Amino acid sequence: MRITIMTLFPQMIEQAVSHSIMGRAIEASQVEIRAVNIRDYSNNKHKQVDDYPYGGGAGMLMKPGPVKWCYEAICESSPNTKKRVMYMTPHGKPWKQAMADEFAKEEEIVILCGHYEGIDQRVIEDIVTDEVSIGDFVLTGGELAALVITDSIVRLLPNVLGKQESFQEESFCDGLLEYYHYTRPAVFEGKEVPEVLLSGHHKNIEKYRRQNSLENTYKKRPDLLEQVQLSVEDRKFLQSVGYNNI
């Protein structure tokens, strides 16, 4: 997969993706991540990319030209692949695990990061296929949002995570929050690891983890339970911990 991020701050992207799992995935050619500087496509001798909004009001807007020409250059560099073009904006569809799963199947993704008060609407309508938000708050620019989205996609690509299991049982994979994890020592500052996890009894461990996962979801994100397929046993357990909305 190739991810191209259109930004006025390419170093923010390059720095962040060069570490940890994303850095390793790039090294291993499991993903190509490029940051392209929109400013390089300004036709202005001062490389200006922003201007005053028509109709007045506070702040500056990104001009449509440099964004469009930057996008055209990206298309010229890979003319044969279909591209989803995501625009990072609080107006967008809230980013969810299911969307990361969907985008992880694409061959090429372009992410457009805005700055100032936003981008001229005409170029958004022209090139963007998906508007995405990472939450109901306003960031100073789209770069951090683009990094969040990129990270959540890259970790799903084949062989990026060490073992396949490492994302089979995790939060949101089955619509629930994950169960709690423990490692050595078995007793830390007087607190013990749940006994069942030391028992080596796989069926009991599995049952404990399912119940822990249900309980965590009930206590922390009860809204998620409404969208999950629950077994009779799951419902019984949830009732035993006080969940009545079944």
Q: Tell me if 8 contacts ligand ADE by CB under 6 A.
A: no
Closest separation in Å from C-beta 128 to ligand ADE? 12
Distances (CA, A) of 189 to 75, 116, 183, 192, 193: 58, 49, 14, 9, 11
Among 28, 47, 72, 135, binds ligand ADE (CB under 6 A): 135
Report CA-CA distances (Å) from 170 to 92, 156, 158, 229: 26, 12, 17, 16
The candidate with the shortest Cα–Cα distance to 103, out of 123, 130, 140, is 130
**Using CB under 6 A, which of 142, 147, 209, 237 touches ligand ADE?**
142
Of 54, 58, 80, 137, the one binding ligand ADE (CB under 6 A) is 137
What is the smallest separation between the CB atom of 193 and ligand ADE, expressed in angstroms? 38
Closer to ligand ADE by Cβ: residue 66 or 142: 142
Residue with tokens 């170029």: 123
**How far from 89 is each of 49, 114, 128, CA to CA, in Å?**
18, 8, 11
Find the binding residues for ligand ADE in span 143-162 (CB under 6 A). 145
3-state secondary structure of 127: helix
Distance CA 234, CA 246 (A): 10
Determine if 133 is a binding residue for ligand ADE (CB under 6 A): yes
CB of 117 to ligand ADE, least distance (A): 11
CB 162 within 8 A of CB 118: no
Residue with Cβ nearer ligand ADE (54 or 137):
137
Binding of ligand ADE by 5 (CB under 6 A):
no
| Whole-number Å distance between alpha carbons of 66 and 37 | 10
**Cβ atoms of residues 49 and 39 within 8 Å:** yes
Binding mask 67-106 for ligand ADE (x = CB under 6 A): ---------------------xxx----------------
Stretch touching ligand ADE by CB under 6 A, among 4-12, 135-143, 178-186, 209-217? 135-143
Question: Does 185 participate in binding ligand ADE (rule CB under 6 A)?
Answer: no
- Is 118 among the residues that bind ligand ADE (CB under 6 A)? no
| Measured torsion, CA atoms of residues 7, 11, 13, 18, in degrees rounded to the nearest 10 | 160
Find the binder of ligand ADE among 58, 138, 187, 232 (CB under 6 A): 138
Counting runs of H as helices and runs of E as strands, what totals does the chain give? 9, 9
Instruction: Verify binding: residue 124, ligand ADE, rule CB under 6 A.
Output: no
Which part of the chain contacts ligand ADE (CB under 6 A), choosing from 55-63, 132-140, 177-185, 210-218? Answer: 132-140
Residues near ligand ADE (CB under 6 A): 88-90, 133-135, 137-139, 142, 145
